[in-house]
């Protein structure tokens, strides 16, 4: 048996084939950079209320909304689609929840919180259904269909709030966004639970295989009996609902919806998280675990940019450089080019031994 096939180098090569591994490596690298700048960067302390406090806890809380929308985006991309409207759905959901809670006038009511969440699920699901109708019934390209709602959604939020930043008071909603359970942010625990539930749903049932089938070859999937239209409605509605929940929790952090900033450009972060996680925008194979790691990387990168004092004007360029470098490292073609260059590198000539 060839030991080299099972040695440490072979194991590392096998691990490197998982594209999300490079996302983990990038997170570690960013944390190391922050540690070099401040050796106490990852220190975690316990507050007087027993909550865990530290930069790493802040990263987990910031990653939660991105995790939610990235999971929905991952399933949409698996069908060879895209959802550019998630940021706008977030602000619409935030506007609906804040207007409902403000009108309810019950700052201590848990029922008001569930009422707001239920209304948000209905509204965001309806927006997702609109996207699905345009894509699967009307036959528009997903990019165009979701771009329409991306542009219209923020205007809809302004109509709902009368163009003002609406505030509300509800202790239960605020606790979900800012509270802790066992020291960890509640919002992160909820996001992680959603990721696990969706992951189990698509991997422990035929749903995941059917999504991959229509992403690879929609015509062949139809001939095999796969109901493409029903699946598209499922993923676009799920993407809308997850974006709506993420919008509520993002808004509930300060219990105010900012119609200009809430969810702004988060659709791009969701797409980046999906790509970083190894899901191809060409459709077919998808990786929810990778999308989650990508969301954590985006949150870590945002935190690093602030922590290092990068000028806000240069922040997009800084993020772009990191993302491009990471995507290049993930590319099999780029890694293959480096391997071929190493193999074809001229070797020093060996002197022939002269027989005595």
- What pLDDT score does 177 carry? 87
Q: Residue for token digits 């799920």?
A: 238
3-state secondary structure of 197: helix
- What pLDDT score does 192 carry? 94
Any residues with CB less than 8 A from the CB of 331 and at least 6 apart, and which?
none
Average pLDDT over residues 334-356: 57
- What pLDDT score does 17 carry? 58
Q: How far apart are CA 248 and CA 138, in angstroms?
A: 30
- What pLDDT score does 275 carry? 87
DSSP-assigned beta bridge partners for residue 45: 53
What is the gyration radius of the CA atoms in the chain, in angstroms?
Answer: 23
Model confidence, pTM: 0.84
Span 57-327: which CATH code?
1.10.3470
Structure tokens at 95: 């506007």
Please, are residues 170 and 112 in contact by the beta-carbon 8 Å criterion?
A: yes
Average pLDDT over residues 72-76: 93
Q: What letter would DSSP give residue 50?
A: S
At residue 346, does pLDDT exceed 80? no
Any residues with CB less than 8 A from the CB of 153 and at least 6 apart, and which?
85, 87, 88, 89, 91, 92, 127
| Lowest-pLDDT range of 26-30, 49-53, 170-174 | 49-53
3-state secondary structure of 210: helix
At residue 1, does pLDDT exceed 50? no
Average pLDDT over residues 54-59: 86
Buried b (16+ CB within 10 A) or exposed e, 132-167: bbbbbeeebebeebbeebbeebbebbbebbeeeebe
Task: Write the Ramachandran bin of 311: left for phi over 0, alpha for psi from -120 to 50, otherwise beta.
Answer: beta
């Amino acid at each position: 048996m060839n030991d080299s096939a099972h040695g440490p180098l072979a194991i590392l090569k096998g691990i490197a084939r998982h594209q999300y591994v490079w996302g983990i490596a990038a997170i570690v690298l960013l944390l190391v950079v922050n540690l070099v700048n401040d050796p106490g960067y990852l220190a975690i302390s316990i507050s007087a209320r027993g909550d865990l406090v530290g930069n790493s806890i802040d990263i987990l809380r910031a990653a939660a909304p991105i995790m939610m929308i990235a999971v929905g985006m991952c399933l949409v991309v698996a069908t060879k689609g895209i959802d550019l409207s998630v940021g706008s759905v977030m602000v619409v959901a935030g506007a609906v929840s804040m207007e409902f809670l403000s009108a309810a006038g019950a700052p201590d009511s848990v029922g008001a919180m569930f009422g707001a969440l239920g209304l948000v699920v209905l509204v965001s699901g309806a927006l997702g259904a609109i996207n699905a109708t345009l894509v699967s019934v009307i036959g528009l390209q997903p990019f165009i269909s979701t771009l329409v709602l991306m542009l219209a959604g923020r205007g809809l939020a302004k109509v709902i709030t009368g163009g003002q930043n609406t505030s509300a008071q509800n202790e239960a909603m605020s606790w979900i966004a800012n509270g802790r359970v066992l020291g960890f942010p509640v919002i992160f625990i909820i996001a992680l639970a959603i990721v696990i539930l969706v992951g189990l749903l698509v991997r422990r049932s035929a749903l995941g295989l059917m999504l991959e089938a229509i992403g690879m070859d929609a015509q062949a999937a139809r001939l095999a009996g796969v109901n493409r239209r029903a699946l598209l409605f499922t993923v676009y509605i799920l993407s809308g609902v997850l974006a709506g929940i993420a919008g509520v929790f993002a808004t509930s952090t300060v219990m105010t919806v900012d119609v200009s900033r809430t969810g702004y450009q988060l659709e791009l972060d969701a797409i980046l998280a999906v790509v970083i996680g190894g899901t191809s925008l060409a459709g077919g194979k998808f990786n929810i675990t990778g999308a989650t790691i990508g969301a954590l990387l985006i949150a870590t990168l945002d935190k690093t940019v602030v922590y290092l004092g990068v000028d806000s004007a240069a922040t997009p360029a800084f993020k772009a450089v990191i993302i491009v470098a990471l995507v290049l490292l993930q590319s099999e073609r780029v890694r293959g080019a480096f391997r071929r260059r190493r193999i074809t590198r001229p070797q020093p000539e060996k002197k022939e031994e002269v027989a005595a």
